[in-house]
């Protein structure tokens, strides 16, 4: 009988649940539209039903060892999702307690970037590392920080919000109410804002000028950059510069062995990494120059969220040994 | 027979060694001019002789349990002091190995700000806390970061250099070769630079105008601020604003239970704390608003360095239990 963990990714549009072996082998996944359920309890019930169906449908007998959940605004200590901006739920949702009505097994919940970091540690490029950081460059910028082999949750349980480091005190308006946060520059949304600003300033008109700000997305910008569009290339350059300062500040803080880039914008690959390496060389404190690696996540994007969430279960097993 | 740890603070001018009980009671201290010894080995030998003399002179029999050392540019992992900017030594000095020639006891070395953090945890206001940060505001800005009850050393052993977070990419020239580092604004030296800038800009002339930049120090500025001098008060205001941004960025990073201010500039007390609290309220991410306390170190400044260094020994004992 094989042991599997259920990995659940609760997203703004869809939620995905999968059964995953400790070696990263995914048996099956089920996708459920998050917004179909007005009440969180109903989504949790349907995720439970999906887990049961997948266990039943498997060709061999599987033993479920625990449930790992990645969700926005999740609090590891309290096992809850709290006032998530990207979900239609209000207040504090006791997700762990809801699952515990169906399972007498470990249920671990944390935010999606933390789950990605644990996934990187258990299945990905951070295997064997004790100190590293994962930056998820999506709509916003999330982060999972590992110190001494463990996720940093801090006193509040909400540590690791590097997207909200203030980079420019009088900078761009952020959704958090403050100005100049990292994610207003370095994220899929941030690079679109940079392109719009460059267009507004009349910077070397090119193929992106035909788009209104709300039509832009990071894939269009990547394609334009590939085709040599000057605004798109300049936008990657500026994104890389701000990210390099954030990386330099991260390195003097926890001195990680590696920083992994993950998520939509990281799919730009060399378009991002080439200028980033140049800027990091310029911005990094000299004594830390060769102290860390800058890498893309080695998890496949398609199932990375499910892998990361399932990894929470194996990580907790390792810790309690 | 009482157990004591030797706490050693190796400073640019003087080195101090003391014998400390686990409850923080200091038996005796000896001060040695650091620069008297051209060879680090000779300083270590004399510190050893001082320890022996203090053990012998004590009115009761003392058992030495270990040696804790705080020193600039110390590397905990390698037990060395490496290219210290403020000491006349070059290269990598194997301080731990040098002490181990005289003692078959634990010898722990770390940088002075890390020692201050452990001191705060063992003897000071951080007792019982698992996540906190100590900022030492001296000539530069040092920091000791505690996560999950342990110092953060990171992959390199040099983590926790918050004085070198880039706050303003085109800001003041820093000794590290880069621009806009936190310590160029928030330190005894930083506030002097701010006063000089305000004088140069003709900001409301007052009692500090008679000083040349090299004559200024943070005590003079504090005294002027106490007397209502506008430049001095404005300098504290601006220092507080930059420190508040750094604190806001620290809080989203490791979400500490408290941030302690320590060292020369923190002696300004309310002059610093009042504007700091106002600016922190403005700069902190809303969801972290009530998640941490902002405090002055509760260690007496006179013996804080020796206490902090000796605490390294008790901390290591606790960890190995």
Say whether B255 and A153 touch across the interface (CB within 8 A).
yes
Mutate to test the interface with A, among B252, B282, B294 (most CBs of A within 10 A): B252
A–B CB contacts, 8 A cutoff, strictly below: 129
Question: Sheet of B74-75: strands edge to edge?
Answer: B74-75, B80-82, B92-93
Residue A55: is it exposed, middle or buried by C-beta count within 10 angstroms (0-12/13-18/19+)?
middle
Q: How many CA atoms lie less than 13 Å away from A130 in the CB half-sphere?
A: 7
Output the pLDDT for position A35. Answer: 86
Please tell me which residue, A29 or B35, carries the higher pLDDT value: A29
User: b/e string for B108-135 if b means 16 or more Cβ within 10 A?
Assistant: bbbbbbbbbbbbbbbbbbbeebebbbbb
Output the pLDDT for position B303. Answer: 85
Q: Per CB distance under 8 Å, which residues of A are interface residues toward B?
A: 130-131, 145, 147-148, 150, 152-162, 164-166, 169, 176-178, 245, 248-249, 252-257, 283, 285-288, 291-292
What is chain A's mean pLDDT, rounded?
94
Q: What is the pLDDT of residues A119-137, one digit of tens each?
A: 999 999 999 999 999 999 9
Asked whether the predicted pLDDT for residue A162 surpasses 80, the reply is yes
Asked whether the predicted pLDDT for residue B321 surpasses 70, the reply is no
Q: pLDDT category, A113, cuts 50, 70, 90?
A: very high
Q: Which member of B150, B155, B177 has the closest CB to residue A257?
A: B155
Q: How far is CA A175 from the centre of its chain?
A: 18
Output the pLDDT for position B318. Answer: 82
Say whether A131 and B161 touch across the interface (CB within 8 A).
no
Which residues of B are less than 8 Å from A255 in CB distance?
Answer: 152-160
Q: Which member of B155, B245, B285 has the closest CB to residue A176?
A: B285
- Sign, CA torsion A108/A75/A11/A131: negative
Q: Which member of A153, A159, A248 has the closest CB to residue B166?
A: A248
Output the pLDDT for position B69. Answer: 97
ipTM beyond 0.90? yes
Say whether B160 and A131 touch across the interface (CB within 8 A).
no
A19 torsion bin: left (phi>0), alpha (psi -120 to 50), beta (else):
beta
Q: Per CB distance under 8 Å, which residues of B are interface residues toward A?
A: 130-131, 145, 147-148, 150, 152-162, 164-166, 169, 176-178, 245, 248-249, 252-257, 283, 285-288, 291-292
Query: Closest Cα to residue A137, out of A251, A269, A228?
Result: A269
Q: Which member of B131, B162, B169 has the closest CB to residue A252?
A: B162
Output the pLDDT for position B1. Answer: 86
Mutate to test the interface with B, among A249, A284, A292 (most CBs of B within 10 A): A249
Mean pLDDT of A304-312: 93
Which residues of A are less than 8 Å from B292 in CB distance?
Answer: 155-156
Asked whether the predicted pLDDT for residue B183 surpasses 90, the reply is yes
Output the pLDDT for position A321. Answer: 66
Say whether A159 and B253 touch across the interface (CB within 8 A).
yes
Which residues of B are less than 8 Å from A150 in CB distance?
Answer: 148
Say whether B285 and A249 touch across the interface (CB within 8 A).
no
Q: Is the pTM of this model over 0.90?
A: yes
Give all domains of chain B, ordered by start, each with its CATH number.
2-122+301-320 (3.30.420.40), 128-296 (3.30.420.40)
User: A104-108, A176-180, A209-213 — which is least confidently predicted?
Assistant: A209-213
Q: Which member of A153, A254, A285 has the closest CB to residue B164?
A: A285
Mean pLDDT of B50-77: 95
Q: Which member of B161, B177, B252 has the closest CB to residue A164?
A: B252
Q: pLDDT category, B304, cuts 50, 70, 90?
A: confident
Output the pLDDT for position B148. Answer: 96
Mean pLDDT of A78-88: 87
Output the pLDDT for position A85. Answer: 76
Q: What is the pLDDT of residues B188-205, one digit of tens each?
A: 999 999 999 999 998 888
Q: pLDDT category, A156, cuts 50, 70, 90?
A: very high
Say whether B283 and A252 touch across the interface (CB within 8 A).
no
User: A50-54, A284-288, B12-16 — which is least confidently predicted?
Assistant: B12-16
């Amino acid at each position: 009988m094989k042991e599997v963990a259920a990995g659940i990714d609760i997203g703004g549009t869809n939620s995905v649940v999968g059964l995953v072996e400790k070696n990263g082998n995914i048996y099956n996944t089920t996708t459920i539209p998050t917004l179909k359920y007005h009440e969180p309890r109903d989504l949790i019930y349907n995720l439970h039903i999906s887990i049961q169906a997948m266990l039943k449908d498997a060709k061999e007998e599987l033993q479920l060892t625990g449930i790992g959940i990645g969700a926005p605004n999740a609090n590891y200590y309290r096992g809850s999702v709290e006032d998530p901006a990207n979900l239609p739920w209000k207040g504090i949702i006791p997700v762990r307690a809801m699952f515990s009505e169906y399972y007498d097994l470990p249920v671990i919940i944390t935010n999606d970037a933390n789950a990605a970091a644990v996934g990187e540690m258990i299945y990905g490029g951070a295997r064997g590392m004790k100190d590293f950081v994962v930056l998820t460059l999506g709509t916003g910028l999330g982060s999972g920080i590992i110190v001494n082999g463990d996720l940093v949750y801090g006193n509040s349980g909400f540590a690791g919000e590097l997207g909200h480091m203030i980079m420019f005190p009088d900078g761009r308006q952020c959704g958090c109410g403050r100005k100049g946060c990292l994610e207003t520059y370095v994220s899929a949304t941030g690079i679109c804002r940079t392109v719009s600003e460059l267009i507004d300033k009349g910077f070397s008109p090119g193929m992106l000028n035909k788009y209104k700000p709300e039509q832009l997305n990071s894939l269009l910008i990547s394609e334009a950059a590939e085709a040599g569009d000057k605004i798109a290339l300049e936008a990657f350059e500026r994104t890389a510069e701000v990210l390099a300062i954030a990386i330099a500040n991260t390195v003097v803080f926890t001195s990680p062995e590696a920083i992994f880039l993950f998520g939509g914008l990281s799919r730009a690959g060399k378009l991002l990494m080439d200028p980033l390496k140049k800027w990091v060389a310029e911005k990094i404190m000299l004594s830390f120059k060769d102290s860390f690696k800058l890498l893309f996540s080695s998890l496949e994007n398609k199932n990375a969220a499910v892998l990361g969430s399932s990894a929470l279960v194996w990580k907790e097993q390792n810790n309690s040994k």
